[in-house]
Amino acid sequence: MLAYAAKRIGLGAVQVLAVAVLAFALVELLPGDAAVALAGDQPDPANIARIREQMHLDEPALARLADWLGGLLTGDFGASIVSGRPVADLLATALEPTLILAAATLILLLPLSIGLGVAAARRQGRWPDRIITTFTVGLYSVPEFALAVLLVSVFAIGLAWLPPTAVGVPSLLAEPAVLVLPLLVLLARPICSIARLVRAGMIEALDSEYVAHARRAGVSERRVVLAHALPNAVTPATAQIARTADWLLGGVIVVESVFVIPGLGTALVDAVNARDLPVVQGIAVVFGATTVLVNLAADLVAFRLAPRMEVAR
């Protein structure tokens, strides 16, 4: 398993680099550069030329890419061409709120969605199952921004129970109340999709030969569900959980902008708007690495939960 993990990580590093180079090429293909974006509605050509020179944008694109790749080998992410701040600093600042939100969401998501899925499966076709199914399908079809606006107007503005945004809050952990509404929005759709997968997996498992065998052998129903059926039932959901973790770690831009959370999604949008290539590439590396690691972790967990399954190679 270790050799498998090492191989996957090596392959992942190549994928991450490819993503960064692709991001570079895509931003390079956009019309205009950082100098034009910075000049905004004061597009004095002489000024734009001077900014371009200062930012070394007059050098060929390939030379700038090579410079950046060279720096990356020594662990240097380069500096923002707009402010001159080290990209590593910028990433660290933006990563903190994103990590806090992602971690809090996952901690709540797993027990809630698995619990709902198991509960629905055990009462398959009866009213708790119907309620849970109707509720999850309904909630799943509400887009994040609509839910966010609705929650803010009801719970923050109307009832004034919770703060509407995280504006000016130095750290999300310092004022946990600001996390409540963003967490509800982030949880809504993943809970539905994962609960439904767990329900389906659980129904199949409870119907299987080995569960029937365990029951015949006199194993308690509780133990049948938790120790025998559940690990198999959760396995199909691990890929979805990984996708959700990846989505969260990428900074969910809708949630970040409605609730004023300066995370990775906001940083990416700002950087693309400013055509700040070193920052865009830095974020691409982080996104790529996250995706590779999360998927690797998911495969390893799936392998542990149901060792009989072949790991996809």
Q: 261 or 294, CB closer to another protein?
A: 261
C-alpha 222: how far from chain center: 34
Min CB(60)–another protein separation in Å: 20
Stretch of 243-251, 257-265, 286-294, 304-312 contacting another protein, by CB under 8 A:
257-265
Q: 38 or 294, CB closer to another protein?
A: 38
Provide the mask over 15-54, with x wherever binding to another protein is found by CB under 8 A and - wherever it is not: ---------------xxx---xxxxxxxxxxxxx-xx--x
Stretch of 12-20, 110-118, 222-230, 256-264 contacting another protein, by CB under 8 A:
256-264
φ, ψ (nearest 5 deg) of residue 164 = -70, -30
Stretch of 5-13, 109-117, 274-282, 297-305 contacting another protein, by CB under 8 A:
274-282
Min CB(50)–another protein separation in Å: 5
Min CB(176)–another protein separation in Å: 15
Provide the mask over 69-108, with x wherever binding to another protein is found by CB under 8 A and - wherever it is not: -----------x-xx-x----x--xx--------------
Min CB(264)–another protein separation in Å: 11
Q: 30 or 227, CB closer to another protein?
A: 30
Provide CB contacts within 8 A for 57, sequence distance 6+.
33, 34, 35, 51, 81
- Contact yes or no for 253/100 (Cβ under 8 A): no
Q: 95 or 195, CB closer to another protein?
A: 95
Min CB(69)–another protein separation in Å: 23
Q: 195 or 280, CB closer to another protein?
A: 280
Q: Which of 247, 248, 240, 250 is nearest to 301 (CA)?
A: 240
Per CB under 8 A, contacts with another protein among 133-192 are 149, 152, 156-157, 160, 163-165, 167-168, 170
Q: 38 or 211, CB closer to another protein?
A: 38
Distance from C-alpha of 180 to C-alpha of 196, rounded to nearest angstrom: 24
Q: Which of 259, 278, 51 is nearest to 268 (CA)?
A: 278
Q: 24 or 259, CB closer to another protein?
A: 259
Q: 277 or 293, CB closer to another protein?
A: 277
Min CB(185)–another protein separation in Å: 14
Q: 51 or 249, CB closer to another protein?
A: 51
Applying CB under 8 A, the residues found at the interface with another protein are 30-32, 36-48, 50-51, 54, 80, 82-83, 85, 90, 93-94, 149, 152, 156-157, 160, 163-165, 167-168, 170, 257-260, 262, 266-267, 270-271, 273-276
